[in-house]
Amino acid sequence: MPTIDLRSDTVTKPTLAMRQAMAAAEVGDDVFGEDPTVNHLQEKVASLLGKEAALFVPSGTMGNQLCIKAQTSPGDEVICEHGAHFLHYEGGALGLLSGAQPRPLAGANGILAAEQIEDAIRPSIYYYPKTRLIALENTHNLAGGVVYPIAEIRRIHETATRHDLKMHLDGARLWNASIASGIPPHEYCRYFDSVSVCLSKGLGAPVGSVVAGSAGFIAHARRLRKIFGGGMRQAGILAAAGIYALDHHLERLADDHANARLLAEKLSTIDGVRINLETVQTNIVIMDIAATKMAPAVAVDKLLRKGVLVAPFGKTTLRAVTHLDVDRQGIITAAELFKSSLMA
């Protein structure tokens, strides 16, 4: 029986057409700025995000950390939601690489209000850390793929402007937010000084993220990328996958969202499974199985033996993420296997 892998949208494999585009890519030395395919990808993403320039980087973690490092000094404070990806899943890089500290705030389903941020900004007194950066995440992974309301982003931007603060967007799944809301990426990004977007999640490329901002910011980020060990040579082979993904896989993200909704609705009918359907806005489904009296590790193992892979996501929760390698029938089959596993 084929495996249905719902652990993450990072497990996607490049399609045959994407592999062909990679094989045919024109390449050069990107550290010298001479890879034409990388340059094309960077120009394409900068245009999509409404920014002056962009930089191809190996990973989303590097993208976020470059943006934070470029806009803070050691001892500065970064305001973020308490479930922020860079706070939990990037190996403590904030303190290690930037010497900054987080100011985590509890949002409603991952969403901070401008008033919360206003209250968290430090007074200009010498013994306080200096508030320097506001970092938001769209969509919010730990909240279940929730789309950040653009009206609240505008209000937060107004707060940042009043206090002369920079804003960073962890847009690893910004493409999903855009497809779900109908708001173009550049409209979200206009409120941020830096943006990091991922190519290797829902878009299905094998490697890479892109950071974007002003030309001066990207020049600084390029130097930091080299310091962090992210300078690449004939990287056009990888960039070609990102270009193909942007040209062919953006609109189909709506299929993943529909599949996530279908899965959530089916799983919510299982006794002992609780899902907040309001948070299932894109391609992530978080389910609380506490009432089944089954530990997540046990549930993961039972599902694995039936051919379904999911990720433990807390003391009582599991996460399933839909993507281009699992079609609607796969979702229906997975839901049936969930039922037989969690009710047994």
**243 and 304 together in one domain:** no
| Residues 281-311: b if buried by 16+ CB within 10 A, e if exposed | bbbbbbbbbeebebebeebbebbeebebbbe
**241 and 260 together in one domain:** no
Last residue of a domain, one of 218, 248, 278: 248
The whole domain housing 163 covers 16-248
**185 and 54 together in one domain:** yes
pLDDT at 2 (0 to 100): 73
CA distance 258 to 176: 12
**33 and 108 together in one domain:** yes
Total domains in the chain come to 2
Last residue of a domain, one of 213, 248, 283: 248
Last residue of a domain, one of 181, 216, 248: 248
**179 and 230 together in one domain:** yes
In a domain, 11, yes or no: no
pLDDT at 48 (0 to 100): 98
In a domain, 175, yes or no: yes
* CATH code at position 275: 3.90.1150.10
**76 and 215 together in one domain:** yes
In a domain, 5, yes or no: no
**128 and 226 together in one domain:** yes
In a domain, 9, yes or no: no
Per the DSSP assignment, residues forming a β-bridge with 56 are 210
* CATH code at position 63: 3.40.640.10
pLDDT at 344 (0 to 100): 59
Per this entry, what is the length of the chain?
A: 344
**256 and 333 together in one domain:** yes
In a domain, 93, yes or no: yes
Q: What are phi and psi of 231, to 5 degrees?
A: -70, 130
**150 and 287 together in one domain:** no
In a domain, 222, yes or no: yes
**200 and 218 together in one domain:** yes
Q: Find the largest Cα–Cα distance for the chain.
A: 64
**26 and 168 together in one domain:** yes
In a domain, 169, yes or no: yes
Instruction: Please give the angle made by the CA atoms of 15, 19 and 25, to the nearest 5 degrees.
Output: 145
| Nearest residue to 39 via CA among 23, 57, 63, 56 | 56
pLDDT at 1 (0 to 100): 59
**158 and 298 together in one domain:** no
pTM above 0.85, yes or no: yes
Over the chain (344 residues), the average pLDDT of each successive run of 10 is 90 97 97 97 98 98 98 98 96 96 97 98 96 98 96 98 98 98 98 98 97 98 96 97 98 98 97 95 97 94 96 94 97 96 78
In a domain, 61, yes or no: yes
CA distance 223 to 229: 10
